[in-house]
Structure 1
């Protein structure tokens, strides 16, 4: 039911971005629940996602910027992009580049779909990506929690490595 604006069918491109926008954080959550023994990763993902979304919603309320398709004045920043990049950064920070690179590719595709479907301007998705990345970096610790400490004392040199395996 379309009340506030004319009904316009979503393109396949926009729909795919909408699906991946939900699937990436869901995959991060599912992976964390399967891989980890405790809920530390879940808590970190929640903090990154919620803080990112709070910043996005505050900016949307404070910045009056029209969407390219004219459907509203909440174009800046892109929430889809922020959510996707927060999840991708969480995956990268927590589990490494092996999983981070594909996650960033998915997040980048989500950002592309927002611009290509005329929901956002390029600067909207760039701001959303920055917000998501910063939230992910700030709240996420590596899963292995490995510490590498160089040792140089009284003629003894070496490296001390500790962590959970």
Structure 2
């Protein structure tokens, strides 16, 4: 132990070996039929001109514990609602009507939609408008909470 500064302490501590599975939160999945019903309600609310209610429904209880394919389908339904509302003033009004938790979940979905291209290349500017308006109204708090949250949408 002559050169104590070069000892790898983590190699000696067996408790520090965390896997990706250890970091996943234990959240129950929403049943598939219930999830499809929610998606249908979201699209129905949007088609009847109720975007705020559609977003509130979608952002209140995201399917954190579901499979990736179910999460992608849910995000696609949400992206359809976001793309349908293109007007910047409408976006501001909608964001102001969401509570803090819903705004945080909206940031998660905006990142997912941008990452996976769920809105398509034509509508990516609309998603960026949503992100711009959201961060203008709420600041960077939701982004920081998104980066530190282990629950994925």
TM-score of the aligned structures, taking structure 1 as reference length = 0.29
Q: Which has the higher strand share?
A: 1
TM-score of the aligned structures, taking structure 2 as reference length = 0.30
